[in-house]
Amino acid sequence: MIEMTLREIADVVGGTLHDVPDPGVRVTGSVEFDSRRIGSGDLFLALPGERSDGHDWAAAAVEAGAVAVLAARPVGVPAIVVAPDPGSVPSSSVALAGDSDGSGAAVLAALAALARASVQRLTAAGTLTVVGVTGSSGKTSTKDLLAAVLAPLGPVVAPPGSFNNELGHPWTALRADADTRFLVLEMSARGPGHIAALARVAPPTIGVVLNVGTAHLGEFGSREAIAKTKGELVEALPSSGLAVLNADDPQVAAMSTRTTARVVAVGQSDTADVRATDIRLDDQARPGFTLHTPAGSTPIQLAVHGEHQVGNALSAVAVALECGADLDTIAASLSGARAASARRMDVRTTAAGVTVVNDSYNANPDSVRAALKALVTMSRAGDKPRRSWAVLGEMGELGEESVVEHDRIGRLAVRLDVHRLVVVGTGRPSRAMHQGAVMEGSWGEESILVPDIGAAIALLDDEVEAGDVVLVKASKSVGLWEVAEHLITSEPSSGRRGSTEAVE
């Protein structure tokens, strides 16, 4: 963040100073909500959590070097105190699971105000460009590609992993300082108005909308409602800004009427300004394609896995071109960009030759379809077809569509000719996926339903052989990465598996 005195911060957030001997002392570091991360000159954010209350760690944070604490009550050490606001706890807030009295909401509101002030000063100084990315799937993947293509142009701040909610977004925005040239922000929504709110915290001049899918369908109620919310990003852009829209997704393409900013369409369709043709996948499902842009054409080879990364890469290209990058540098950056965030299409081959596709970070119908296609491409790429395994768990938050969507995935696995679908879990959605596969299949052996992760591991230990390709994917809450990590790290018992190497 920009350097500010405690007095200035109190004014910006509407708080009062407590136990502060010198209001002129400056916060020179970052803002942290984990006291273990506090360094000298930082500001500590006291948030209530499910297990412990940040206010209890205030003294430890100051001891570790924090200049002060941003808190909802006096804490006996220098603090900027904002009043709890019980009326403002958003019902869908994921960041405020332990907030019973509104103190967390007040601290988060103060964080947002502080981030807004900092970003506003940096953009007014003309040194910072803010890029916002939204969509149902691919925000983190695109954010990582964007960080790679923008890096040659100047220092980039982007969130680690998937830090995209009302805590992660302003926290990331506050990491931008006077040296930062690009702030790349992932913007997620669980309900109407969420993207607009994030856009007020750090107003983007470039907005990327990737797709409108079915993630969080349960909370939104319909795809139209999701599209309406995602479109809040392009509505927030200034007329001097740029909207990067996916020409292959009709609901995203239609957002061009909701912005006064210039529009660049990306995709495979003929109408796209930034286009990919001749897409082919290599034996690790890494896409190569010919990139066409108003600045010329060039071959691109991606180092990330899955055809869905083509659209993500095109969006990154459109942003990089807007920011002044040349095509050769963009192509070089893209070919070097690896998955920077964990458990997303992370492809590894064990010493014994089992290829594990760890995509266990999260799942929704679109991303499962993309991953199944990548799995099948990999299994068919060599001279000799390899057996493909899809170990899938429940996709959460699909509301009334849940059973139908799980059934569809089960059927798709069979249609794509996945050798074996292993469905993990006993809930209705898992059973629907298994049942869908059984109905679509011929022999009844296309799918097996196992009750839990332990049973999945036991089955795979028994049956997976050298040469097989195993995809592991489910919603975050299932924790299916245990299966992937077991496959990758387990000691060779029968000489099948051993140490692992990342596939380059």
Ligand X SMILES: Nc1ncnc2c1ncn2[C@@H]1O[C@H](COP(=O)(O)OP(=O)(O)OP(=O)(O)O)[C@@H](O)[C@H]1O
Q: Name which of ligand X, Mg ion, none residue 169 binds, using a CB cut-off of 5 to 8 Å depending on partner kind.
A: none
Question: Of 106, 151, 110, nearest to 131 (Cα)?
Answer: 151
Q: Is 106 left (phi over 0), alpha (psi -120 to 50) or beta?
A: alpha
Compare residues 138 and 425 and give the one whose CB is closer to ligand X: 138
Supply the minimum distance, in Å, between the C-beta of residue 189 and ligand X: 9
**Burial state string for 371-409 with b = 16 or more CB within 10 A and e = fewer than 16:** bbbbbbbbbeeeeeebebbbbbbbbbbbeebbbebbbbb
Supply the minimum distance, in Å, between the C-beta of residue 371 and ligand X: 6
- Residue at token pair 């103060």: 110
143 is in an annotated binding site: no
Residue with the CB atom nearest ligand X in the bound state:
138
The span from the CA of 468 to the CA of 407, in Å, is: 25
The span from the CA of 101 to the CA of 141, in Å, is: 36
Interacting residues toward Mg ion by CB under 5 A: 139-140, 162
Tell me how crowded residue 125 is: count the other CB atoms within 10 A of its CB: 10
Compare residues 362 and 388 and give the one whose CB is closer to ligand X: 362
**Binding mask 324-363 vs ligand X (x if CB under 6 A, - otherwise)?**
--------------------xx-------------x-xx-
Q: How far is CA 224 from CA 26, 164, 180, 212, 458, in A?
A: 46, 22, 36, 9, 42
Residues 6+ apart with CB under 8 A from 63: none
Among the listed residues 158, 243, 334, 371, the single contact to ligand X using CB under 6 A:
371
140 forms part of the interface with ligand X (CB under 6 A): yes
Compare residues 177 and 307 and give the one whose CB is closer to ligand X: 307
The span from the CA of 368 to the CA of 373, in Å, is: 9
Q: Name which of ligand X, Mg ion, none residue 350 binds, using a CB cut-off of 5 to 8 Å depending on partner kind.
A: none
93 is in an annotated binding site: no
DSSP letters of 374-390? HHHHHHHHSSS---EEE
Among the listed residues 105, 150, 208, 210, the single contact to ligand X using CB under 6 A:
210
Binding span for ligand X by CB under 6 A among 37-45, 124-132, 207-215, 415-423: 207-215
Binding span for ligand X by CB under 6 A among 17-25, 123-131, 133-141, 227-235: 133-141
135 is in an annotated binding site: yes
Supply the minimum distance, in Å, between the C-beta of residue 162 and Mg ion: 3
162 is in an annotated binding site: no
User: How is residue 477 written in tokens?
Assistant: 């809450």
308 forms part of the interface with ligand X (CB under 6 A): yes
Among the listed residues 78, 132, 168, 306, the single contact to ligand X using CB under 6 A:
306
Supply the minimum distance, in Å, between the C-beta of residue 362 and ligand X: 4
Residues 6+ apart with CB under 8 A from 314: 266, 267, 272, 274, 275, 276, 291
Tell me how crowded residue 51 is: count the other CB atoms within 10 A of its CB: 7
Binding span for ligand X by CB under 6 A among 134-142, 317-325, 405-413, 462-470: 134-142
Binding span for ligand X by CB under 6 A among 135-143, 219-227, 272-280, 405-413: 135-143
281 forms part of the interface with ligand X (CB under 6 A): no
Compare residues 188 and 229 and give the one whose CB is closer to ligand X: 188
The span from the CA of 436 to the CA of 365, in Å, is: 14
419 forms part of the interface with ligand X (CB under 6 A): no
312 forms part of the interface with ligand X (CB under 6 A): yes
366 forms part of the interface with ligand X (CB under 6 A): yes
DSSP letters of 363-422? --HHHHHHHHHHHHHHHHHSSS---EEEEE------GGGHHHHHHHHHHHHHHTT-SEEE
396 is in an annotated binding site: no
H/E stretch holding 22 reads none
State the amino acid at position 231 in one-letter form.
Answer: G
Compare residues 230 and 386 and give the one whose CB is closer to ligand X: 230
Question: Of 423, 461, 468, nearest to 441 (Cα)?
Answer: 423
Q: Are 149 and 320 in contact (CB under 8 A)?
A: yes
138 forms part of the interface with ligand X (CB under 6 A): yes
Q: Kindly tell me the sign of the dihedral angle through the C-alpha atoms of 258, 262, 264, 265.
A: positive
Supply the minimum distance, in Å, between the C-beta of residue 210 and Mg ion: 11
Compare residues 61 and 345 and give the one whose CB is closer to ligand X: 345
3-state SS assignment for residue 86 = helix
251 forms part of the interface with ligand X (CB under 6 A): no
The span from the CA of 62 to the CA of 39, in Å, is: 9
Compare residues 78 and 135 and give the one whose CB is closer to Mg ion: 135
Supply the minimum distance, in Å, between the C-beta of residue 476 and ligand X: 7
Binding span for ligand X by CB under 6 A among 27-35, 79-87, 308-316, 421-429: 308-316
Binding site for ligand X (CB under 6 A): 135, 137-141, 162, 164, 186, 188, 210-211, 215, 306, 308, 311-312, 344-345, 359, 361-362, 366-367, 370-371
Binding residues: 135-141
